[in-house]
Amino acid sequence: MAARTKMSANLRHIGQSPYLCSRTGAASLRFAYLVITYFFFAMRKRLHNIVNNDELKRQMETSNEVRTTLSFYQYHHIDDPAAFRDQLFLDWSELGVFGRIYIAREGINGQVSVPTEKLLTFREVMYSVPFLEGIRLNIAIDDDGKSFYKLKIKVREKIVADGLNDAGFDVTRRGWHLSAPEVNDLMNQAETIVVDMRNHYESEVGYFKNAIRPDVETFREALPLVEELLAADKDKPIIMYCTGGIRCEKASAYYLHKGFDKVHMIDGGIIEYARQCEEQGLENYFLGKNFVFDERLGERISADILAQCHQCGKPCDNHTNCVNDACHILFIQCDECAAQYQHCCSTACADFAALPEEERARLRPTLTFNGTKFGKGRYKANRKSDPKIV
């Protein structure tokens, strides 16, 4: 607010400038254009982060501020996504909100971290937008307040990259939303099919009992693969699930269009299911960790360890990114291997990361690392024909 007041005062001051008022015609118009251009770019600087990422991350890691992580989404036609994005950035920056938000003409999809003392204010600001009024905010289950270190709001073609032609089917005709008790009841029926609509590295560390888990790296890949896998079971009840529910909204509409009769999805995804189970004292059928797309990379749902360290094979479900920026592959690493490899995925990466910055810059174009060799989370795929780099 102070910045807006200052800008208005500056504009008034410029408008009263004798230099501007004494000029006429083209010269005055050119000067006015320069003034407007200056303030346009000054405002644009406020709509993006200008502090170094490493510094922002350091500030977050050393901060004692209590923060709440939450996620949300809403399908709604937005006429001007760019203008909506800019206003959102201004409003939420003033509240100290961090996070990653995608905006498209079809709606909004966000994961954010809010100072807990400002959570009610954030809710009020969000609900003041008519199409966001009353939407569910999925509060994180396992939260240390270190999920995000900056606010990033991007305009995209879609809020979830699904590869679908929305004009080819009714995207508003979606599957049935199930509460946690309804999920458990339907899962207890022998003919029910449970499908994980997430990527392989997500389901590697956590999943529902007996769920079909497609071996895919993107949601776009999962849609046709699941359709093929379930081609003979179109008349059976299907429960789909994902992290917070958004992927299943579009997927359920797609499968109903494709002739599946009994398509269900877990309302609010794994996050809301786990919350309801804890709140209502229900048996939780989800095992292990729920992978999340922020600095935490996962939240504990049950004590089960379902995955293994990609380096030594011991039970472990801690995802991390190789600290070698030239690699940065997502993989699972235990504490012992983290110490042995200096938080890298290989000796090659550890040796490279230890080099002076100038030497790394010179060698980087000539070297291959696991991150450039394998897809996301594919480090453990050490096939003899295409071995991982050690």
Q: Give the model's pLDDT for residue 29.
A: 56
Domain assignment present for 199: yes
Domain assignment present for 300: no
**Number of domains into which the chain is organized:** 4
Q: Give the model's pLDDT for residue 41.
A: 46
Does 252 lie in the same domain as 213?
yes
- What would the two tokens of residue 44 be? 């644009």
Does 379 lie in the same domain as 324?
yes
Does 148 lie in the same domain as 122?
yes
Does 180 lie in the same domain as 124?
no
Closest C-alpha among 163, 44, 49, 172 to residue 107:
172
CB distance 296 to 141 below 8 Å: no
Residue 333's domain comprises 307-390
Q: Give the model's pLDDT for residue 380.
A: 55
Domain boundary among 94, 126, 155: 155
Helices 269-280, 180-187: inter-axial angle, 10-degree rounding = 100
Nearest-angstrom CA–CA distance, 293 and 147: 9
Q: Give the model's pLDDT for residue 28.
A: 58
b/e sequence 297-308, b meaning 16+ C-beta within 10 Å: bbbbbeebbbbb
Q: Give the model's pLDDT for residue 155.
A: 96
Q: Give the model's pLDDT for residue 360.
A: 95
Nearest-angstrom CA–CA distance, 149 and 132: 24
Domain assignment present for 67: yes
Nearest-angstrom CA–CA distance, 23 and 17: 10
pTM of the predicted model as reported, rounded to 2 decimal places: 0.79
Helices 2-15, 25-46: inter-axial angle, 10-degree rounding = 170
3-class DSSP state of 44: helix
Domain assignment present for 51: no
Phi and psi angles of residue 369, each rounded to the nearest 5 degrees, phi first: -120, 175
Does 68 lie in the same domain as 31?
no
pLDDT tens track, the chain, 390 positions? 444 343 333 323 333 343 333 444 555 555 555 544 444 444 444 566 666 677 777 777 788 899 999 999 999 999 999 999 999 999 999 999 999 999 999 999 999 999 999 999 999 999 999 999 999 999 998 888 899 999 999 999 999 988 888 888 887 889 999 999 999 999 999 999 999 999 999 999 999 999 999 999 999 999 999 999 999 999 999 999 999 999 999 899 999 999 999 999 999 999 999 999 999 999 999 999 999 999 999 999 999 999 999 999 999 999 999 999 999 999 999 999 999 999 999 999 999 999 999 999 999 999 999 988 776 666 554 433 344 555
Establish whether 345 is a catalytic residue.
no
- What would the two tokens of residue 307 be? 């995955």
Domain boundary among 108, 123, 155: 155
Strand order across the beta sheet in which 138-139 lies: 138-139, 67-75, 107-115, 98-104, 151-155
Active-site choice (242, 277, 316, 322): 242
Domain boundary among 155, 181, 216: 155
Domain assignment present for 40: yes
Does 178 lie in the same domain as 219?
yes
Beta bridge partners of 241: 196
CB distance 121 to 174 below 8 Å: no
DSSP letters, 63-104, are ----EEEEEEEEE---S-HHHHHHHHHHHHHTTT-EEEEEEE
